[in-house]
Amino acid sequence: MGHILRIGVTGGIGSGKSLVCSTFSRLGVPVLSADKIAKELMSGNATLRKALLTLLGSSTYRSNGELNRQYVASTIFSNPALHGKVNALVHPRVEAEVGKRFVKLEKAGVRLGIVEAALIYEAGFDKHLDYVIVVDAPEADRIRRVVRRDKLTAVDVRKRIRSQQSTQSKLRKADYVVRNNGSIDDLKVSVEFLLSILENIAGTL
């Protein structure tokens, strides 16, 4: 059984990392979403639910038991210390679950898998990956996309961009960079080219 090549895809808010991942997925590469896994665990893991309720209060979950994402986001976004505590609870569990899913893919004979995660470097998750791809886009494009997608003001989006680790520091650490500064077709060509390189590497393992 060959080793699975574990690839991380990250980038700041509005950079287009989800579009890059959906392109990889359409090209046949399994893509894990750290965000979706975090939501699953925050909703379904009893120990984590209890810890989050203690930390954030009863509004953390709706009356039907669903995670109240808007409440959680607004509560931790303005409170870095609280944000750090939530991350300390959630990140290790997400990391462990991603690891399990990569092992499952490896056992199924998959040679190349991707995890999409906003906080790969911040959470130290890069040490568990073979390569990290950083998706980058001009700030004006990022702001426009997020305003349209999340119905936020440009001021709010700028605040969120400033709250994340700077793109420049991510770009310096990246193994590969995808520049999302053209059309969707341009991006697809970049992803296809990068996939051919990664498949060659995976073929040598």
- Give the neighbor-by-neighbor strand order of the sheet with 5-10: 31-33, 112-116, 5-10, 131-136, 176-179
Contact 180, 16 (CB under 8 A): yes
First to last CA, the chain: 10
Owner of token pair 């309720």: 53
Euclidean distance between CA atoms 99 and 6, whole angstroms: 9
76's CB contacts (< 8 A; 6+ apart) are: 56, 82, 83, 86
Amino acid present at 187? L
Residue 26: per-residue pLDDT? 97
Sign of CA dihedral 156, 48, 61, 65: positive
Residue 151: per-residue pLDDT? 84
Euclidean distance between CA atoms 7 and 151, whole angstroms: 31
**Hey, how many other C-beta atoms are within 10 angstroms of the C-beta on 120?**
26
Euclidean distance between CA atoms 98 and 133, whole angstroms: 17
Tokens standing for residue 91: 């990140």
Residue 167: per-residue pLDDT? 80
Residue 201: per-residue pLDDT? 94
pLDDT tens for the chain, residues 1 to 205: 468 999 999 998 899 999 999 999 999 999 999 999 999 999 999 999 999 999 999 999 999 989 998 899 889 877 889 989 999 999 999 999 999 999 999 999 999 999 999 889 988 999 999 999 999 999 899 999 999 898 888 988 888 777 676 788 899 999 999 999 999 999 999 999 999 999 999 988 7
Say what the pTM is: 0.89
Euclidean distance between CA atoms 192 and 129, whole angstroms: 20
**Which of 68, 72, 65 is closest to 46 using CA atoms?**
65
Tokens standing for residue 19: 């579009």
Tokens standing for residue 137: 């886009």
Residue 2: per-residue pLDDT? 60
Residue 1: per-residue pLDDT? 44
**Which of 70, 44, 48, 43 is closest to 59 using CA atoms?**
70
